[in-house]
Amino acid sequence: MDTTVDLDTFSSLVERPDEGARRGAEERWQQLAMPRDGLGRLQELGAWLASARGERELRPLTSTRVLLFAADHGVAALGVSTLEPRGGTADRVRAVLDGTAPVAVLARRYGADVRVVDIAVDADPNEFPEDVVRHRVRRGSGRIDVEDALTADETARAFRTGMAIADEEADAGTDLVLLGDLGVGATTVAAVLIGALCGTDAAAVTGRGSGVDDRTWMVKCATVRDALRRARPVLGDQLALLGATGGADFAAITGFLLQAAVRKLPVVLDGVVSAACALVAQRIAFRSPEWWRAAALTGEPAQAKAYDRLTLTPLHETGVTMGEGVSAVLALPLLQAAGDTLAEPAAVPHAKPLPPRVPAKLPTAADLLDRY
């Protein structure tokens, strides 16, 4: 199987959001009977949604998806998390699927659908529905402090799977994705990727993750240090970096973010995992961060460094540290409010509806792979 992916293609395919739609939204705000900048951050969010969706007359958000990539990581066996290394990720997946996980509860409250993609959970695939496991690349991943997480073929497959999922969501009419992850040991992996890309040492990017104590933090820090040594020789090759010190979820999320930007699908980033993948994606297509917004800081030092590099400002501050898409879902009411306020026709005197926009044909993952 051909394991190559032409990452250079994304630089030309990822365009900037529609500047005309952004200006139209800003003009619309000026027509409202309110003090200048009276709605604060909602105005910036409304303009971003309008530009990302290419709508001079913004429609309310009606089809929002919470998308969770699930995978296990070999470093979890070192005890870098308070969660059980074996079975912990599978338990989290089950909690989302049965509707008891916080992200599932909040998604119901705010009217968002939840989709879980098992990309590398270390569990029998028969434990989950077919639509959850059909994209699985492997069970778990290698221990990145001493070995590669994935083979080159698995890395490419995971990356392409993320691209295909972006196409599925765009084709289904999803108008906003709230991106999250499920995986024991994932914050350790994210710290390695961000530390490598930002050129910092292990202590500067290693956080408390699931709430580890000082002794466990030291083990985690040493693990990040050893993995950073393995990451630095492949910094110039993003796919090699994801294979050496990432994981199937990290490769898939990176592919998803890039193809979502190609398909003009706006995304809200959740925790340090999506922040790490966004940083890798930025190295591939420098305009891609314009299609994303950051939900919140979760207390991970690596995440703060990534958002600084990406020039993304978090939308809210609630003190949520658990990841799993919760912070992204908590940002949804702000985005819904921005869209609803800007979309309200009665707010503009004598407003005339614009003709419906015919979307341009955008390249799918299949189109891109035909070129490789």
Q: What is the residue-wise DSSP string for 96-131?
A: HHTT-SHHHHHHHHHT-EEEEEEEE-SS-GGGS-HH
* Residue 55 is among the residues annotated as catalytic for this protein: no
293: phi then psi, degrees, rounded to nearest 5: -130, 150
8 Å CB contact between 310 and 279:
yes
Q: What angle do CA 335, 256, 290 make, to 5 degrees?
A: 50
Catalytic, out of 55, 169, 300, 324: 324
In a 13 Å sphere around the CA of 358, the CA atoms on its Cβ side amount to: 1
How buried is 97 (Cβ within 10 angstroms: 0-12 exposed, 13-18 middle, 19+ buried)?
A: middle
8 Å CB contact between 104 and 152:
no
Q: Residues with Cβ < 8 Å from 356, sequence gap 6 or more?
A: none
Cα gap 346→369, rounded to integer Å = 46
List, by residue number, the catalytic residues.
324
